[in-house]
Amino acid sequence: MNALKVALYILVYPGFLFQSGFSTFLEWLDRKVYARMQNRRGPMYTGWAGILQPIADIVKLLSKEDIVPAAADQRAFAFMPILSLAAVFTAGLYLPVWHLRSFNSFEGDLIVVLYLLTIPSFALFLAGWFSVSPYSLLGATRVLTQLFAYEVPFFMAVLTPAVLAGSWQISKIAIFPWTVAGHWWVIPIELIAFVVAILALQAKLERVPFDIPEAETEVVGGPLTEYSGKKLAIFRLQKDILMYVGAALVACVFLGGFGALPQGGDQASIGVLGLVFGGYLGGVAGLLLGVVGLLLKTTLVVFLLSTLRAACARIRIDQIVRFSWRYLAPWSVAQFLIVLLLKAKGAV
């Protein structure tokens, strides 16, 4: 029975099926928002308002011919998409989307998720490296250069709320603003770290203005230049799930996750909605509201990412390195100091 439950967790919710479905929805939303901001309509005729467009793309790619270049390392070439998909998918399992804590959560899962989210970048680098094409190689080296730029600010920004909450467990960080009455103000004081995390997440996802590794006017398709068919489909799915996991992580850590809602008996939930609904909806309904709350917050983060993508143009590789180390890293250090001072004064 327990094994069945775990299998359901892994395969259906919050595992593979849910992650794939919701992340394709997020890609559709991202494309729609991007199109509307460019005065376009975006996908229209694939399902309602084009909502099935990402699924059509992936099914089409799965049904296409799969070319492996003769010069490429056959096994490594085929292994990289699977490795990166497995990494982001495993990271998604640690997110507390259902209960207060996910079935495999433990003290320190935030660090595990952060490391798992680094693997796709390395897989992308190795994918470009093993496909042995000049454009792939250039793109691959850019992936690594960019990784060194955004990774440290991202880690520092995400660890700030952890220090604030005094825990390395995502669910505890997420519930922290709602545990004591009137404690929600810890959300606005983390604004700087939130901005840094959004910018670094955009760089991690390699989207405009940080799409330097796959800048099509310079390096054709970047590390994915030689990928086609099924392997490209897996990479696309991986990118969507990475967007979902990254956005949901930011929503959990900075925006209070499923918070402000009743989550069963063991935690006091004193947010506004908790006060309103807590008396009437216990158990399942409260859980559902929590899930909807978290998904709405995730969607909000993706909306911010799309806005950033539509508003900016691509910058150069030296500019992103300079920007991260000159601005993002000091900003996150400043945020860290603010939080430490607050904690020292006993305000939190």
Partner 1 sequence: MFKKLIKWARTKSPWVLHFNSGACNACDIEILAALMPHYDLERFGVQLKATPRHADVLLCSGPVTKQIAPRLKRIYEQMPEPKAVVAVGACACSGGAFRGCYNVLEGVDQIIPVAAYIPGCPIKPEALIDGVAKLLGKA
Residues at the contact surface with partner 1, assessed by CB under 8 A: 31, 35, 38-46, 50, 52-53, 55-57, 59-60, 63-67, 135, 216-217, 220-221, 224-229, 232
Contacts of 313 (CB under 8 A, 6+ apart): 208, 209
Give the chain's length.
Answer: 348
Taking alpha carbons only, the member of 245, 162, 233 closest to residue 201 is: 245
- To partner 1, the closest distance from the beta carbon of 38 in angstroms equals 6
CB-based contact 80:88 (threshold 8 Å): no
Helix then strand count (H, E) for the chain reads 15, 0
In the complex, least distance from residue 57 CB atom to partner 1, rounded to whole angstroms? 5
Please state the closest distance from residue 87 (CB atom) to partner 1, in A. Answer: 23
Instruction: Give the residue among 224, 230, 228, 187 at the shortest CA–CA distance from 206.
Output: 224
Residues ≥6 apart with Cβ < 8 Å to 147: 118, 121, 122, 125
Rg (CA), the chain: 20
Give percent helix, percent strand, percent coil of the chain, each to the nearest 5. 70, 0, 30
Q: State the minimum distance, in angstroms, from the CB of residue 224 to partner 1.
A: 8
Task: Rank residues 67 and 334 by Cβ distance to partner 1 and give the closer one.
Answer: 67
Nearer to partner 1, 33 or 253 (CB): 33
Query: Which of 43, 96 has the CB closer to partner 1?
Result: 43
* Exposure letters 141-177 (e unless 16+ CB within 10 A, then b): bbbbbbbebbbbbbbbbbbbbbebbebbbbbbbbbbb
Residue closer to partner 1, measured from CB, 145 or 218 = 218
Distance CA 123, CA 11 (A): 23
CA 251, 291, 57, 53 torsion-angle sign: negative
Q: How far apart are CA 306 and CA 323, in angstroms?
A: 20
Q: DSSP assignment, residue 184?
A: G
